[in-house]
Structure 1
Amino acid sequence: MENYTILRQFADSWMLLLLFVFFVGVVVWVFRPGSAESHDDSANIPFRHDDKPAQSKEARQ
């Protein structure tokens, strides 16, 4: 029972603070100046090397 109490107090105080700081760090990293270019590049990965639309099986015959 003693371990549960200690871990519960740790989770309610320091772990909560640590996870909040981590969340704020991720938000700051995502919205940092200059990150739009890398996000746009990642968003366009499915469209790379796409010379023409895919054809359906009926159109190939």
Structure 2
Amino acid sequence: MSPSNSFQSSGNNPTELLTRKQAANFLHINLSTLWTWTNAKKIQAYGIGNRVFYKKSELLDALRPLN
């Protein structure tokens, strides 16, 4: 099993960890926007070693309705 597949799960598991690329694809944004939002504390990133991950549930919680 490759490292990129080790965090993927079948179904829609909101507690799964996403890589930077997966998180950007999930939010339909580019990696530079993801970096900007992370530095602005709009979303929380987690590190394991030198890798960065995002919790899918927290990405969903960060979404806000537009008025």
TM range (shorter): under 0.3
Query: Higher RCO, 1 or 2 (CA under 8 Å, sep at least 6)?
Result: 2
Query: TM-score normalised to the size of structure 1?
Result: 0.27
Query: TM-score normalised to the size of structure 2?
Result: 0.26
Higher relative helix content: 1
